[in-house]
Amino acid sequence: MTGAGETPAETTHLLKPKIPKDTYHLAYIIYFTIGVGYLLPWNAFITAVDYFSYLYPNTSVDRTFAIVYMLVGLICLVFILAYAHKSTSFVRINVGFVMFVGALVVVPLMDVGYVKGRVGVFEGFYVAVGAVAVCGIGDALVQGSIIGAAGEMPERYMQAVVAGTGVSGVLVSLLRLLTKAIYPQDAHGLRKSANLYFLVSIAVMIICIVAYNVVHKLPVIKYYNDLKLQAVDEEKEDKRASTSVLWGSPLWDIVGTVKWYGYGILAIYVMTLCIFPGYITEDVHSYILNDWYPILLITGYNVFDLVGKSLTAIYMLENAKVAIGASFARLVFLPLFYVCLHGPQFFRTEIPVTVLTCLLGLTNGYLTSVLMILGTKTVLVQHAETAGIVLVIFLVTGLFIGSAVSWFWVI
C-alpha cells in the first residue's frame, strides 16, 4: 500500500536505496593497497635471492622457496574452502596479515642476532624456509578471502586487487635496482638490501591491516555487504519453501560453474612459474649485463605484468572462451624459452629473452585479471566468496605445478 501522493514506482525507488558513492575512490584505493600487500612478502623473499644464495651456496633458493610457498598455500586453501562457513573473511584476512608480519620480522632478526652474514649457517636457511611456509598460509587466508570479497562487488574492485598484485612486484623490483646501485655487492651490501626489502614489506603489511579495518566502515562497502546478506537470507527462504526440489551441494555447483575459468587460470600459472623466476634468475646469462641481467629481466616481467593487469580498466575482454583459449595458447612460451636456452646463438642473446619475458608478464597479467573478473561474476553474489576461493585454488595449483616443472630446466 502506497502513502498519500506516492506512486508505485516511487515506492519501489524508496525500497531500493541508491548505491553510495565511493568518495575519493577510497574503497578502490584500499582494495588496490591490499592487492599490493598480500603478494609483497613473497616478492620480498624471491627478490632477496642474491642474499640467500650468498649465505647458502649450492642451494636452489628460488625453486625451494617457490615449491614450499605454493604447496603450503594450496593445502591451507583446501581447508579454508571446506570450513569457510565457520569463519568470516574479515577474520581470515586480518589473521593472514598478522602472519605475514610475523614471518617477515624473522628474517632481519635472524640476520642481526644469529646468522650475522656468515656463509653456510644452514639453520638460518631452514628458518627462512619456515618463514616462507608461514607466508604461504597467510597468502591462502588473505588471497582467497579478498578475491571472494572483491567478487561480491562491481568488477572495478577485482581489477583494483589484481592490479595491486602487479604493483607489488614492480615495487620490490625497483627496490632491488635501487639497492644494487647504491650498496656494494658484498656480504654487507647484500644484508642491507635484504633487510630493506623486509622492513618495507612489514611497513606495508601494517598499512594493509589498518586500511582493511577501515574499509568495512565505508558506506559503499556496507551497501554491498548488505546486498550479500539479503541474497543469503532469500536463498535460505527459497530452500525452506521448496518441498519438491532436491537441492544439490552448493560447493560442487559453484565448482562446476567456474571450473573452466579455473582451468584457464591454472594453465596461465603452470606456464608462468615453470619459467619465472627460476629460469630467469638461474639459467640465462649475459656477458654484457652480468649480474644485472636477472634483475632487469625480473623487473621487465613485473612491469609488463602490471600493464596487463591494468589494461582491464581500459579494455575488458568479455568473451570467456577466447580468454580461456588464450590461456592455453600461452603454452607456446615453453618451446620458445627452450630455444633461448639451447637453440641457435641469436636466440640466446639478451633481446629475444627480454622480449619473451615481457610478453610472458603482459599475458599473465591481462588474462589473470580477465578470468578472475569473469569467473566470480558467473555465480550469485552470495556465492562469490566461495567462487573466489575456488579460483585461487586453481591459481595456486598452477603455481605449485609450475614450480615443480621448473626443476626440469636444471636437468
Q: How far apart are CA 368 and CA 32, in angstroms?
A: 16
H or E element at residue 104: helix 89-110
Instruction: Find cell 596461465 and name the residue.
Output: 268
- Cβ atoms 262, 270 nearer than 8 A: no
Residue 410: per-residue pLDDT: 54
Model confidence at 8: pLDDT above 50: no
Burial class of residue 156 (count of CB atoms within 10 Å of its CB; 0-12, 13-18, 19+): middle
53-57, 138-142, 343-347 — which one is most confidently predicted on average? 138-142
Residue 239: per-residue pLDDT: 66
207-259 pLDDT, tens digit per residue, is 999 999 999 889 999 998 888 888 877 777 766 665 445 444 588 899 999 99
Model confidence at 116: pLDDT above 80: no
Min mean pLDDT across 10-19, 281-290, 376-385 is at 10-19
pLDDT tier, 322 (very low <50, low <70, confident <90, very high otherwise): very high
Closest to 267 measured CA to CA, from 359, 329, 320:
329
Q: What is the mean pLDDT of residues 367-377?
A: 95
144-162 pLDDT, tens digit per residue, is 899 988 988 999 999 999 9
- Cβ atoms 391, 372 nearer than 8 A: yes
Residue 247: per-residue pLDDT: 45
Fold adopted by 23-225+248-409 = Growth Hormone; Chain: A; (1.20.1250)
Looking at per-residue pLDDT, the higher value among 353 and 247 belongs to: 353
Q: What percentage of the chain has pLDDT greater than the value 90? A: 47
Looking at per-residue pLDDT, the higher value among 198 and 121 belongs to: 198
Residue 41: per-residue pLDDT: 93
Distances (CA, A) of 34 to 148, 158, 201: 13, 11, 12
Q: What percentage of the chain has pLDDT greater than the value 70? A: 91
pLDDT tier, 198 (very low <50, low <70, confident <90, very high otherwise): very high
**Mean pLDDT across the chain, nearest whole number?**
86
- Cβ atoms 41, 103 nearer than 8 A: yes
173-187 pLDDT, tens digit per residue, is 898 888 888 988 788
Q: How far apart are CA 370 and CA 273, in angstroms?
A: 19
Closest to 150 measured CA to CA, from 369, 336, 403, 357:
369
The full set of domain ranges for the chain reads 23-225+248-409
Closest to 366 measured CA to CA, from 250, 242, 265, 252:
265
Model confidence at 16: pLDDT above 60: no
Residue 56: per-residue pLDDT: 86
**Residue type at position 272:** T
15-29, 220-234, 307-321 — which one is most confidently predicted on average? 307-321
